[in-house]
Structure 1
Amino acid sequence: MTNRSFEIVDVTLRDGSHSMRHAFTKEQVRETARGLDKAGVNYFEVSHGDGLGGSSMQYGLSKVNELELIETAAAECGQAKVSVLLIPGIGTKYDLNDAVKAGAKMVRIATHVTEADVAKQHITLARELGLKTIGFLMMAHMASIEKLVEQAKLFESYGAEVVYVTDSAGALLPHEVTERITALKNELSIEIGFHGHNNLSMAMANTLAAVQAGATYIDGSLRALGAGSGNTQTEVMVAVLEKMEYNTGVDLYKILDVANDVVAKYMPRPQEVTGSSLMMGYSGVYSSFLLHTEKAAKRFNIDERDILVELGKMKAVGGQEDLIYEVAANITKKKFAVAPKP
């Protein structure tokens, strides 16, 4: 096999939280973590879908406190390590300290692609706590390559050890991923990662483009469980990379077992490209908006695709979930407006 090392970071227990409506149980986390560890995955993420501190009315309340889930997952780790996500403004330094006490060994500090400057103190703290520290540039399709490089350099200057191109909306195409990863490889001295969503059915193709351009951290989710149409499917990624003679270090049979025997049994629905999630990729809308949009469409009796198109025009980003209902209300007003009498 090609002498190359990849870190496949599995996000089933974090990004999958969106699809699960943040209702993971300890037993589900325990069995998934045990399977990932046995399969040889070095890092897997456990948090509320919107990261540490995300359990709220705004983002959705967790069924089980995330610190308990982190502890549960960490207890199953022989060689694997638990990662967490922190979005400044949602998670705090206190949440990060608590996560470390619960067993977290890595953190991904996530900001909008143009707002890396808000993460300096969080990255500094993460390094002080001895965590593997990663910068996560979300909604990467919304910035020029020049801006992406500028923001990635900020993450690097703060102490991030890896910087991710994060396709939060599943809006990028393979050549766009290649351009972005290549630019970061040329301009940064740290490792580069890629996180994809499948809203345009491009997640696997985009991940391969990232790998071929030099990314060494790549994200996946078992059975593609994640926001929108889900993520690059971990077990598929392992199989494809193995066929391409890359060395992932992950046991294909064992990763298939945890995907099919554990995750498939608790998934609320199959992860597939639907009309609504497809529109998210097409319009460039944050993948975690899907369930909120479906709820708003039912409440106002309108087409959820219309909501997503408007959100795309507004360039809405994570943290603006309240806009979904505002947009839905405005569409309803226009739909049922009575024309003035002549």
Structure 2
Amino acid sequence: MKEIIINDVTLRDGCHAVRHRLTLDDFQSYAEAMDKVGVDVIEVAAHGNGLGASSIHMGKSLHTDREVLRIVRQALKRTKLGMMTFPGLGTLNREFKMSVDEGVDVFRVCTLCTEADITRQCIEFLVREGKEVGGFLGMSHLADKERLLEEAKKMRGYGAQFVVLVDSAGVYLPHDVRKKVGHLVEFMDIPIGFHAHNNFSMAVTNSLVALESGAKIIDATACGFGAGAGNTALEVLVAVLQKMGHRKDMDLYTLLDAVKIAKGKFIKNNPIISEESLLTAMNGLFSAFSRPVLRAAEEFDVNSRDIFNRLGERGAIFGEEDLILEVAVELKEKR
């Protein structure tokens, strides 16, 4: 497991946990602390779904993407600045060009795992700009290993320098990781990454299995801070890796100090595996659906379990938050 790249997504995925209300001081303080640790990339956005996602539909962020990128860029001296967005939420002439102007180092272009075609324009633009760019295949549990390889090869053909498989629903078990990550590693000539969610309490384990299967890039967050049940806990991941003899270059004590800063400022409660997190995973739903499902259940006086089940039956994917309200209304009318 040499050349392991650790991508800290606390300041992007973590926004889900606080309804996208991180302050500029939160961004700056955490980035300054983590810059001393030796993590490779800190990924930043004002909204948990990435740049350009702030909206009434998916939730309004407290600050603009430009503001948070700029303040973190100023805070980082040794760590690369990263971004992630979906084509459509982020546009070429707005979010992508703005990110280039603000000095982002690593770009990740995200899409549903069966729709890599829509990333072509953005990836090719970033390649022409001379930037480090990769693909981010969301909801990857929805496709088999052959289809994932097909989509990853498309991204490689557009110029992607790495591809990350995203367990958006937190539903992967170790054998899923071995099968899918291992297949991409075997047949791709660029680094493969893995982004875990913790709905089944498997995030750290699955991240380690991904590395054992040949992955080179792992996403993690402080205290697992992220959507739903959270992500791979960064401090646990690093401690385990060092116990195994890897990433001794990272300062674990400084990392633990940075985590304390985060807990003092914006991580008021560590993510937990709630009933909603389990139902999200069991129904193969985007981990960030938990909060809007609970709100809809309360607003329309229906059972949240029924909403989760119906969304699973309808194959809901990220970006379809309006469908949650539609299902809640249908359940209320049929009662």
Give the structure-2-normalised TM-score.
Answer: 0.97
SS in 2 for 1:5: coil
2: CA distance between counterparts of 1:62 and 1:235? 27
- In 1, the alpha carbon distance for the partners of 2:206 and 2:320 equals 27
Deviates more, 1:297-306 or 1:166-175: 297-306
- Counterpart position of 2:4: 6
- 2:174 equivalent to 1:174: yes
Question: Are the aligned partners of 2:133 and 2:161 in contact in 1 as well (CA < 8 Å)?
Answer: yes
Distance 1:247 1:267, change over 3 A: closer
Cα deviation for residue 58 of structure 1 reads 1.0
Counterpart for residue 184 of structure 2: 184
Specify the SS of the correspondent of 1:88. Answer: coil
Q: Distance in 2 between matches of 1:135 and 1:167?
A: 14
After TM superposition, give the deviation of residue 248 of structure 1 in Å: 5.8
CA drift of 1:268 comes to 4.5
Q: Which residue of 2 aligns with 1:148?
A: 148
Deviation at 1:228, TM superposition (A): 1.1
SS across alignment from 1:276: helix
Q: How many angstroms does 1:303 deviate by?
A: 2.2
In 1, the alpha carbon distance for the partners of 2:271 and 2:97 equals 33
Task: Find the counterpart in structure 2 of residue 91 from structure 1.
Answer: 90
Rounded Cα–Cα distance in structure 1 between residues aligned with 2:74 and 2:281: 37
Amino acid at match of 2:41: Y
Q: How many residues align?
A: 333
* 1:29 Cα deviation after fit: 0.3
- Runs of 4+ residues deviating >4 angstroms: none
Q: Which residue number in structure 1 is paired with residue 70 of structure 2?
A: 71
Structure-1 residue corresponding to 2:59:
60
Give the corresponding residue for 1:210: 210
2: CA distance between counterparts of 1:231 and 1:20?
14
8 A Cα contact 1:223 1:264, kept in partner: no
Q: Distance in 2 between matches of 1:251 and 1:157?
A: 37
Q: Does the CA-based 8 Å contact 1:228-1:277 persist in structure 2?
A: yes
What is the alpha-carbon distance in structure 2 between the residues aligned to residue 248 and residue 282 of structure 1? 37
Q: Check the 8 A contact 1:174/1:209 in 2, yes or no.
A: yes
Counterpart secondary structure, 1:134: strand
Quote the Cα distance in structure 2 between the aligned partners of 1:249 and 1:304: 46
Give structure 1 stretches of 5+ with no counterpart.
336-342
Matches for 1:325-340 after TM superposition, within 5 Å: 325-335=325-335
Give the match for residue 269 of structure 2: 269
Which residue matches 1:320? Answer: 320
How far off its partner does 1:131 sit? 2.0
Instruction: Answer yes or no: is the 8 Å Cα contact 2:144–2:180 preserved in 1.
Output: no
- CA drift of 1:270 comes to 2.4
Report the counterpart of residue 224 of structure 1 in structure 2. 224
Using the TM superposition, give the Cα deviation of residue 250 of structure 1 relative to its aligned residue in structure 2, in angstroms: 2.0
- The 8 Å contact of residues 200 and 282 in structure 1, kept in 2 or not, is answered as no
Distance 2:248 2:167 in 1: 22
For residues 91 and 9 of structure 2, what CA distance do their matches in structure 1 show?
Answer: 21
**1:139 aligned residue:** 139
Provide the C-alpha distance between the structure 1 equivalents of 2:295 and 2:225, rounded to a whole number of angstroms.
20
Say which SS state the counterpart of residue 82 (structure 1) adopts.
strand
Partner of 1:82: 81
Residues of 2 paired with 1:248 and 1:303: CA distance?
Answer: 48
Q: Over residues 285-327 of structure 1, what are the superposed CA-to-partner deviations in whole Å (9 max), with x where a residue is unaligned?
A: 0012121112111111222222112111111111111000001
Matched-pair contact (CA < 8 Å) for 1:169–1:287: yes
Render the CA deviation track for 1:5-39: whole Å, top value 9, x for unaligned. 11100000000011111111110000110111111
Q: 2: CA distance between counterparts of 1:85 and 1:139?
A: 15
Please list the CA deviations of residues 237-277 of structure 1 after superposition, one character each: whole Å capped at 9, or x if unmatched.
Answer: 00011111122632111111111232453125320100001
Residues 229-268 of structure 1 aligned to structure 2 (within 5 Å): 229-247=229-247, 249-268=249-268
The farther-off stretch of 269-278 and 208-217 is 269-278
Gap regions ≥5 residues in structure 2? none
Equivalent residues of 2:30, 2:261 under 8 A apart = no
1:27 correspondence with 2:6: no
SS of the residue 1:218 aligns to: strand
> Which residue of structure 2 lines up, in the alignment, with residue 340 of structure 1?
none
Q: Deviations over 1:68-90 (max 9, x none)?
A: 01100010111101111110111
1:288-303 → structure 2 map (5 Å cutoff): 288-303=288-303
Percent identity over the alignment is 39
Distance in 1 between residues matched to 2:242 and 2:186, nearest whole Å: 27
* C-alpha separation in 1, matches of 2:224 and 2:305: 22
